Amino acid sequence: MTSPSLHRSPGPDAWPALPYAEWKDSCATLHMWTQIVGKIRLALSPRVNHWWEVPLYVSARGLTTSPIPCGSGIFEMEFDFLTHRLDIRTSWAESRSVALFTRTVAGFYRELMDSLAAVGVRVKIWPMPVEIPNPIRFDQDVTHARYDPAAVQRFFRILVSIDSVFKEFRADFLGKSSPVHFFWGSFDHCVTRFSGRRAPDRPGADAVTREAYSHEVISAGWWPGSGAFPQPAFYAYAAPAPDGFAAAPVRPAAAHYDSSLGEFILLYDDVRSPADPCVAILDFMQSTYEAGASLGRWDRASLDRPHS
């Protein structure tokens, strides 16, 4: 049963404007910083299906790795977007902070790796960004060097609001579902539902893609804009996409299917304008799920939570 409390919009500050053109340089820098932190988590974490050991999670301060194994202890890294620092905390009472300000990716990388070594965390990562065009090694990247604290805080406020809505949507599914998590590779917040059936092999797919889409999925998420799609937007897709999916009617009216992306898109600015953004987002996620699950012949009687 869905909770009516989340259907009430928490106020205008929860859905601030985030013009991509105004913060794209800060977004690109922050993307690289999250990739560095995410790769550290990847290097030290046990392998989990669909790469669920690698994402970050929304916290009360920003984005956190959650606990990472390290020898006989654990440590955690958290981007604090309220005081603009990356905090490193360990179970053996050592801690460090790396300041977030307008600085190069290379400078951030060096200080973070030195800080980890200082608290007793020894880790080696492949210092090459992923899922972006024209990648630059972290230790050589002096191109991305912008950090706008006000824009990052707006980004964080949006993530907090979206995280709550996505968790409500996740609760209405009885089948296998991913956590609500932030993928640093593609720099998006998402949640994925599974039919329970294996997916057909993808010819030519790399190892990462094969594992991510080894089973039938319907996924929905939000990204804050990128060079390929320069607007904050919600998205939804099915993999594999069943016949007729692209033409399926979905809600709200502003949503549309983007054939170049192979996904349904709902612009963030179109969500900010309704009286209740939470309802608009839930409508989008539910209607795209219903389209994919019904056309894909999922066992919805067993997978969907009954509503009173």
The Cα–Cα gap between 192 and 87 comes to 29
Distance of CA 164 to the CA centre of its chain: 13
Q: For every one of its 308 residues, what pLDDT tens digit does the chain have, with 9 covering 90 and above?
A: 444 444 444 555 889 999 999 999 999 999 999 999 999 999 999 999 999 999 999 999 999 999 999 999 999 999 999 999 999 999 999 999 999 999 999 999 999 999 999 999 999 999 999 999 999 999 999 999 999 999 999 999 999 999 999 999 999 999 999 999 999 999 999 999 999 999 999 888 898 899 999 999 999 999 999 988 999 999 999 999 999 999 999 999 999 999 999 999 999 999 998 889 999 999 999 999 999 999 999 999 999 998 64
DSSP 89: E
Amino acid at 142: V
DSSP 107: H
Instruction: Give this prediction's pTM.
Output: 0.94
Question: What is the helix (H) or strand (E) element at residue 271, kind and residue range?
Answer: helix 268-272
User: Of 197, 250, 212, 216, nearest to 131 (Cα)?
Assistant: 212
Sequence ranges of the domains in the chain: 19-140, 160-303
